[in-house]
Structure formats: C-alpha cells, structure tokens
Amino acid sequence: MARREQDPIGQFNFIVEIDGMESSAFLSVSGLSSETEVLLFRSGNDRSAAVRKLPGLQKYGDVTLKRGYIGNNDLYQWRQQIIDGAVDRRAVSILLLNENREEVSRFNLFEAWPARWELSTLNAKGTDIAIEELVLAVERIELSD
C-alpha cells in the first residue's frame, strides 16, 4: 500500500553519508537538534516588572551515530586524527527515506568532527552484537527537502 502524503515518515529508513567514507549501514542516529539561547533583558526605566526575551546564539546538538562493529576502523581513524591534533571537519548528511527507499528529507551537518568514539561492552557470556558509537560535534544543521 502506498503512503499518503499526509502520513508520517517512518524512522527506520535512513542513510548516513560522511565525506571521504564509504556509505555504511547505521543502527541509529540521535541528537539532531537546534536551539536558540534566550537572553533576558529589562531596562531600568521599564514600568513593567516583566523581562523581555530576545534571541541569542544558535546551538546545535551533538549527533550520535551507532552501527554494528564490523572491523572497519574508518570511524576510529577519523577520531584518532582529532586525538593527534588534526581537526578533520567533514560534511555529513542524514537522508530520511520513504518506503520505496527514495529521499524525502536531508539533514546536512556542517563542520562535523568526532568528539567521542566508543565500543559497547564486551561480555563473554553475552549474545549481543558489538556496537560502535561516534558522537559528532557539529556547527550547524540544515534541513533540505
């Protein structure tokens, strides 16, 4: 059955593109957010006891990527460059797809760099898949459709 235009898009069809890397299947993407600081202001001669609220600086959330660890060290190597003092900022895009795997929306992350890399807990008694996690610091997020 075809999706109607007013139907919400599922969260489970997406692609992550990172400049300079082969496309990889990711388990999840989180942290896509935008926020404007609120500046409180009140003049000394204001007759009202209320404060005015003005827009301040823009802030964008850190974006977390998770995928099953497959022995490909490209994300860790990118993180290692940061540790070694070479800030390698890259463009990253998150493509949201419809049920036909066609692009519906694109979230572009600008000047992204890996602030943290983590491998899930390893457990000799466990049956879970090893999960690799990369947290990206981003300067700006734009939505294009």
Give the model confidence (pLDDT) of 80-125 as tens digits. Answer: 999 999 999 999 999 999 989 999 999 999 999 999 999 999 999 9
Model confidence at 49: pLDDT above 70: yes
Give the pLDDT of residue 145: 65
The pLDDT of residue 1:
52
At residue 24 the predicted structure's pLDDT band, cuts being 50, 70 and 90, is confident
Q: Which domains are present in the chain?
A: 14-30+61-144 (2.30.110.20)
27: left (phi over 0), alpha (psi -120 to 50) or beta: alpha
List, in sequence order, every residue forming a beta bridge with 24; answer none if it has no partner: 16
Tell me what the pLDDT averaged over the chain comes to: 92
**E strand or H helix at 132:** strand 131-137
Q: Are 22 and 33 in contact (CB under 8 A)?
A: no
pTM of the model: 0.86
CA separation, residue 50 to residues 38, 53, 55, 120 (Å): 15, 10, 16, 49
Q: Name every residue whose Cβ is closer than 8 Å to that of residue 48 and which is 6 or more positions away in sequence.
A: none
The structure tokens listed for 52 are 């005015």
pLDDT band for position 130 (cuts 50, 70, 90): very high
Does the pLDDT at position 4 exceed 60? yes
Predicted pLDDT at 7: 82
